[in-house]
Amino acid sequence: MKIVQLAAEFAPIAKVGGLGEVLVGLSRELSRMGEEVDVIIPKYDLIDVRKISQIKMEVPDFKCLENGNLHANAMWSGISEDCRIHLLEARHPAGYFHRGKIYNCEDDAARFLYFSRACIEYLKLKNEPIDILHLHDWHVAIAAVLVKDLIRLPIKAIVLTIHNAEYQGECAPGNLDAIGLNGSEYLKKLQDDNPARPRTINLLKGGIVYADAVNAVSPTYAKEILTREMGCHLDATLRKYKAKVSGILNGIDQKLWDPAKDPALPKPYSSESSIKAILEAKQAARAAVCKRFPISNNQLPWVGSIVRLVPQKGPELIEAGLRATLHLGGSFLLLGSSPLPEIQAHFETLKKEYAGNTQVVLHYEYDEALSHQLYAALDFLLAPSHYEPCGLTQLIAMRYGAIPIVRATGGLKDTVFDCEDPAVPIGQRNGFVFLRADVTDLLPTLHRAVHYFRSDSATAHAMMQRNMRIDFSWKKPAQEYLRLYRRLIK
Ligand code: ADP
């Protein structure tokens, strides 16, 4: 089957969060299963092309329309993480992908609309039959509209995956005019459902209306977004198209996240190692963290979060978790930063408050290697999200032997089962879960976790090792995607 994936991220060369990891994990597994997969992302200036093997210019010059002008583009191709990757170089005067970052530019809508149209122009030029055009998130959702209404391509079916329904790509009708679609016409169909946004086109809605299938990244989140409370104003549209909406749980890429071969770790370990060897390797990871930060290497439980600090992730609960962990005698480590200045400023103040405290690390950068060391060094990973489409950090934590403490929402609910929940078979209990996203639910759960760790470390270690063995690979999810693809093209 020939599958083309369009997205804004691909890990590790262009990663902001889970989206980039899904692209690599799913594409690598589908390729391994014998499918023909091509991934197209923008050629951001921040991509280190030396990390892409066999990189070459595939199409030196092709044009893409914007605001009545034809702009030049080139398509590069190569191999990254065993996947065939294509990078769109937009030679656009606005330097759309030369911003030193992937998102959060004022003209994001224009940038990704242009990218979407340019991808379609490239596929038209290639004119090869495609079974599935797989679109990820709002950035490329308009491609479904372009293919169905404007530029006919030999594509059998279009899939849209929603990685986070909060981000929808709102824009003016004029933005659609710019790429050759009649914006006012599309207002009738793709008007944003949020009454606070009149005369606004909603790009994610465009994908939902036009794609042949829509999926969210976990079964629970797929149900949650159909509700008024959690649908981010898209629920009515999603309910209208409910027949084509499903949920497929993400996996984690087993090569990117493998404690047995992780170059960021001082000592390798795996679920096959003895508990003693696992604990020694985790101690070595701790020692590496202690070398870099003034935190004491004690026997206290280490609790931490590796997270984008945005309201969704419960930053106020992370802060409460930090204070409570210290109160319980543990250490807290946070690796995260915020695109939102108020949240960033608040956490900077917190950092000042805890300066000199040898039980706290607050590090506000994006640091891939450090994240690997932390997953290995932590005893507990805290993910107190208000909502979570899937969440990868709890899955990575389990693979690295850190026990998750999570709020029961979305993919967290689908993957973490409380170790005292009588409704769950004992062998499946793998962490600590609280129900409501508030401090009154979080604190006793954190307390339970720390107590469990202290009072019965043998059981805690056994759970840790059992968690490392859970199959969170892409094997099963990729098969589910294949089933979906096959159903669409038969
Ligand atoms: P989201 O995509 O909403 O940010 P996910 O849990 O799906 O959340 O994915 C987050 C990914 O980003 C994980 O791989 C996590 O390790 C990584 N990550 C988050 N913040 C940082 C950071 N500051 N440094 C390094 N990696 C980070």
Reduced 3-state DSSP string for 239-301: HHCHHHEEECCCCCCCCCCCCCCCCCCCCCCCCCCCHHHHHHHHHHHHHHHHHHCCCCCCCCC
Distance CA 115, CA 46 (A): 17
Distance 25 CA to ligand 1 centre (A): 15
* Structure tokens given for 447: 């307390």
Q: What's the pLDDT score for residue 248?
A: 98
Q: What's the pLDDT score for residue 304?
A: 98
146 C-beta closer than 6 A to ligand 1: no
**Cα 383 → chain centroid:** 14
CB-CB neighbours of 390 under 10 Å: 27
Residue where the block lists tokens 């990117």: 256
* Residue among 484, 405, 391 at smallest CA distance from 164: 391
Q: What's the pLDDT score for residue 231?
A: 98
378 C-beta closer than 6 A to ligand 1: no
Ligand 1 atom with the smallest distance to the CA of 312 is 3
Residue where the block lists tokens 């993480």: 81
Amino acid at 449: A
475 C-beta closer than 6 A to ligand 1: no
Residue where the block lists tokens 């701790």: 286
Amino acid at 20: G
Convert the pLDDT of each residue in 92-115 to its tens digit. Answer: 999 999 999 999 999 999 999 999
Q: In what order do the strands lie in the sheet with 245-247?
A: 53-66, 69-80, 83-91, 36-42, 2-6, 130-136, 155-162, 213-216, 245-247
18 C-beta closer than 6 A to ligand 1: yes
Closest Cα to atom 4, ligand 1: which residue?
Answer: 17
**How sure is the predictor about 300, in pLDDT bands with cuts at 50, 70 and 90?**
confident
Convert the pLDDT of each residue in 218-275 to its tens digit. Answer: 999 999 999 999 999 999 999 999 999 999 999 999 999 999 999 999 999 999 999 9
58 C-beta closer than 6 A to ligand 1: no
Q: What's the pLDDT score for residue 299?
A: 78
Ligand 1 atom with the smallest distance to the CA of 390 is 7
368 C-beta closer than 6 A to ligand 1: yes
Distance 308 CA to ligand 1 centre (A): 6
391 C-beta closer than 6 A to ligand 1: yes
308 C-beta closer than 6 A to ligand 1: yes
* pLDDT exceeds 90 at position 83: yes
315 preceded by a cis bond (ω within 30 of 0): no
Helix, strand, or coil (residue 77): strand
Distance CA 148, CA 210 (A): 7
Ligand 1 atom with the smallest distance to the CA of 308 is 20
Q: What's the pLDDT score for residue 228?
A: 97
**How sure is the predictor about 298, in pLDDT bands with cuts at 50, 70 and 90?**
confident
- For the chain, the average pLDDT equals 97
* Residue among 125, 220, 105, 203 at smallest CA distance from 160: 203
Distance 423 CA to ligand 1 centre (A): 31
Burial of 175 (0-12, 13-18, 19+ CB in 10 A): buried
251 C-beta closer than 6 A to ligand 1: no
Mean per-residue pLDDT, 449-473: 94
**How sure is the predictor about 209, in pLDDT bands with cuts at 50, 70 and 90?**
very high
Convert the pLDDT of each residue in 303-322 to its tens digit. Answer: 999 999 999 999 999 999 99
Distance 60 CA to ligand 1 centre (A): 34
Distance 70 CA to ligand 1 centre (A): 37
Distance 307 CA to ligand 1 centre (A): 5
Ligand 1 atom with the smallest distance to the CA of 250 is 7
Domains and CATH numbers, the chain: 2-251+475-489 (3.40.50.2000), 275-468 (3.40.50.2000)
Closest Cα to atom 17, ligand 1: which residue?
Answer: 17
pTM higher than 0.75, yes or no?
yes
Q: What is the dihedral of CA 28, 30, 35, 40, to 10 degrees?
A: -60
Mean per-residue pLDDT, 31-50: 98
Convert the pLDDT of each residue in 133-151 to its tens digit. Answer: 999 999 999 999 999 999 9
107 C-beta closer than 6 A to ligand 1: no
Convert the pLDDT of each residue in 405-454 to its tens digit. Answer: 999 999 999 999 999 999 999 999 999 999 999 999 999 999 999 999 89
Distance 271 CA to ligand 1 centre (A): 23
* pLDDT exceeds 90 at position 394: yes
Closest Cα to atom 26, ligand 1: which residue?
Answer: 368
Distance CA 128, CA 39 (A): 15
Distance 319 CA to ligand 1 centre (A): 18
392 C-beta closer than 6 A to ligand 1: yes
